[in-house]
Amino acid sequence: MTVGTRARTLYDKLWDSHVVHVAKDGMTLLYIDRHLVHEVTSPQAYEGLKLAGRKPWRVDSIVATADHNTPTRNWDKGIAGIADPVSRLQVETLDHNIKEYGARVYFPFLDKQQGIVHVIGPEQGATLPGMTLVCGDSHTSTHGALGCLAFGIGTSEVEHVLATQCLAMKKTKSLNIVVEGTLGRGITAKDVILAIIGKIGSGGGTGYTIEYTGAAIRALSMEGRMTLCNMSIEAGARAGMVAVDDQTIEYVRGRPLAPKGAMWDRAEAYWRTLVSDTGAKFDRVVTLDARSIQPQVTWGTNPQMVTTIDGKVPDPAQEKDPVQREWITRALRYMDLKPNTPITEIRPDKVFIGACTNSRIEDLRVAAQVVKGRKVAPGIKLAIVVPGSGLVKRQAEKEGLDRIFTAAGFEWREPGCSMCLGMNDDQLSPGERCASTSNRNFEGRQGPGGRTHLVSPAMAAAAAIAGHFVDVRAF
């Protein structure tokens, strides 16, 4: 471990403590502590491993689950509940690979603790402060909420980590996003991260690792910090993180895979050092005032295309740059929106509460509070709640949240990635508009021809009740 006298950022500390080897040109072999595996990006990696006659370096670093292809209904039918044979084969291939090669823990389809990989990692204590954590999924940035270095990788890198427990990479630049002050009532982590992306752009964090700091970030719950870090990649940054504090420690304590007893005390002492030192230098600093952040709604086909609930759809004619103008024009055509339309006049056809961004218990509590005693508007064809994991689902049922949702007209589903990307049956039909708590509003993301508006769980719930986007604070 390199310990210098120089003031270091949290990112410096996490990086330094995992350096195995540095080549002359700066290319570094970085040791990976935790490898999360799911069914979509792993089959070709296991195949590559097998073809090369290699074995996984350390199977007890692997925690696996099936989440992208799994249905959110018909679990009573077992594996046959995955109607699409191509999806079923992918899920079965993961079963087979884990059986053949092994893992620390595996939560297969239908397991009571199965769920979205980025929900179950922290929930199980598989994600710990100070770790390097990777997964073949760009939303791996979520885990940085616990004060670890977590980032998404491609399938070649999945194979590389399986075979060597390392990645060959160069350190990125560091970006400090400071959110000062106190968030207004009804403003959530989702609004904060959408406002950040609106400010720096979807490529603004490219080449950087983000650390979120400031009073408003400190005040976020751990689950709020996960929402925040989740969408770091939507700002272009592979990794986002929040320093360890009392909340982090209390969140991790007692989790199934967290250390216990004397080992816990030792771990906690180390974890408490995982903060950026006073005077540590970042390559870039961006500051936002928490009080200026309003409820956010995206209007276009990229998370950067976002405005506030009291805002309007922009007019491309006002855009001077021709590439940007063309981009906005194309997005409005795809979204079937006219310039200057007030956001509150946009009426969704479907509402989706779920995804690795917003499917944790606090998200469901906030949404349930909005819909309690109310009914989904007649114009809404479908409103679904998809809990992030089996454990979140059962906790919500214990609190009666499922009954609040179903009484209002929502469907209460089984856990998984679901309509965030529609690899299962949960999709938008062409032309349908969705108020969604997910993280991407790209063309066709939720189904071919589908139109996505990204919002917080509270704003999605309010839109379901009102039949159009509405300021949840006035609800």
Partner 1 sequence: MEKFVPSEGLVAPMDRANVDTDAIIPKQYLKSIKRTGYGPNLFDAWRYLDHGEPGMDHSKRRLNPDFVLNHPRYRGATVLLARENFGCGSSREHAPWALLQYGFQAVIAPSFADIFYSNSLKNGLLLIRLDPKTVDRLFKEADAAAGYRLAVDLDAQTVTTPRGESFGFEIDPFVKHCLLNGLDEIGLTLRHADKIKAFETQHRAEQPWLFQ
Residue 452 makes CB contacts below 8 A (sequence gap 6+) with: 298, 428, 434, 436, 438, 440, 441, 442, 445, 446
d(CA 7, CA 277): 5
Q: Smallest Cα–Cα separation from 451: which of 463, 459, 443?
A: 443
Which of 65, 72, 124, 138 lies at the binding interface for partner 1 (CB under 8 A)? 138
Which of 443, 467, 468, 473 lies at the binding interface for partner 1 (CB under 8 A)? 443
The answer to whether 298 contacts partner 1 (rule: CB under 8 A) is: no
The answer to whether 59 contacts partner 1 (rule: CB under 8 A) is: no
Least Å distance between CB 95 and partner 1? 12
Interaction with partner 1 in 179-218: which residues (CB under 8 A)?
Answer: 202-203, 206-207
- Region of 404 on the Ramachandran plot (φ > 0 left; ψ -120 to 50 alpha; else beta): alpha
SS (H, E, C) 382-430: EEEECCCEHHHHHHHHHCCHHHHHHHHCCEECCCCCHHHCCCCCCCCCC
The answer to whether 128 contacts partner 1 (rule: CB under 8 A) is: yes
The answer to whether 152 contacts partner 1 (rule: CB under 8 A) is: yes
Phi, psi (deg, nearest 5) at residue 297: -140, 130
Contacting range for partner 1; rule: CB under 8 A; set: 230-238, 274-282, 453-461, 465-473: 230-238
Least Å distance between CB 263 and partner 1? 5
d(CA 329, CA 334): 9
Instruction: Please spell the DSSP secondary structure of 293-305, one letter per residue.
Output: ---EEE-SSSTTS
Which of 13, 143, 160, 451 lies at the binding interface for partner 1 (CB under 8 A)? 160
Which of 6, 55, 112, 170 lies at the binding interface for partner 1 (CB under 8 A)? 170
Q: Which is nearer to partner 1, 159 or 223 (CB)?
A: 159
Kind and range of the H or E run holding 133: strand 132-135
148-153 CB contacts, 8 Å cutoff, 24+ apart: 148/14, 148/241, 149/11, 149/14, 149/15, 149/18, 149/209, 149/239, 149/241, 150/229, 150/239, 150/241, 151/238, 151/239, 152/233, 152/238
Least Å distance between CB 356 and partner 1? 12
Q: Which is nearer to partner 1, 209 or 437 (CB)?
A: 209
- Strand residues in 284-372 grouped as ranges (E): 284-289, 296-298, 306-308, 350-353
Interaction with partner 1 in 9-48: which residues (CB under 8 A)?
Answer: 18, 20-21, 23, 25, 27, 29, 31, 33, 40-41, 43-44, 47
d(CA 254, CA 9): 28
Q: Which is nearer to partner 1, 96 or 403 (CB)?
A: 96
Least Å distance between CB 151 and partner 1? 8
The answer to whether 304 contacts partner 1 (rule: CB under 8 A) is: yes
Contacting range for partner 1; rule: CB under 8 A; set: 2-10, 146-154, 182-190, 462-470: 146-154
Interaction with partner 1 in 444-463: which residues (CB under 8 A)?
Answer: 444-445, 448
Least Å distance between CB 17 and partner 1? 8
Q: Which is nearer to partner 1, 299 or 410 (CB)?
A: 299
Q: Which is nearer to partner 1, 157 or 414 (CB)?
A: 157
Which of 253, 266, 333, 403 lies at the binding interface for partner 1 (CB under 8 A)? 266
Contacting range for partner 1; rule: CB under 8 A; set: 231-239, 310-318, 341-349, 462-470: 231-239
Is 180 within 8 Å of 210 (Cβ atoms)? no
Q: Is the dihedral of CA 162, 166, 167, 171 positive or negative?
A: positive
Question: How many chain residues interact with partner 1 (CB under 8 A)?
Answer: 84
Place of tokens 């650390």: 211
Burial class for 151, CB neighbours closer than 10 Å (0-12, 13-18, 19+) = buried
Interaction with partner 1 in 68-127: which residues (CB under 8 A)?
Answer: 68-69, 84, 86-87, 89-90, 93
Which of 2, 7, 60, 345 lies at the binding interface for partner 1 (CB under 8 A)? 60
Residues, the chain:
475
Least Å distance between CB 318 and partner 1? 17
Contacting range for partner 1; rule: CB under 8 A; set: 5-13, 310-318, 322-330, 392-400: 322-330
Per DSSP, the three-state class of 220 is coil
Q: Which is nearer to partner 1, 127 or 296 (CB)?
A: 127
The answer to whether 136 contacts partner 1 (rule: CB under 8 A) is: yes
Interaction with partner 1 in 338-397: which residues (CB under 8 A)?
Answer: none
Q: Which is nearer to partner 1, 156 or 318 (CB)?
A: 156
Pairing, β 451-454 against β 105-107: unpaired
The answer to whether 249 contacts partner 1 (rule: CB under 8 A) is: no
For the record, the structure tokens of 456 come out as 């917080």
For the record, the structure tokens of 208 come out as 């950087």
Which of 251, 282, 299, 327 lies at the binding interface for partner 1 (CB under 8 A)? 327
Which DSSP category does 438 fall into? S
Q: Is the dihedral of CA 270, 272, 278, 280 positive or negative?
A: positive
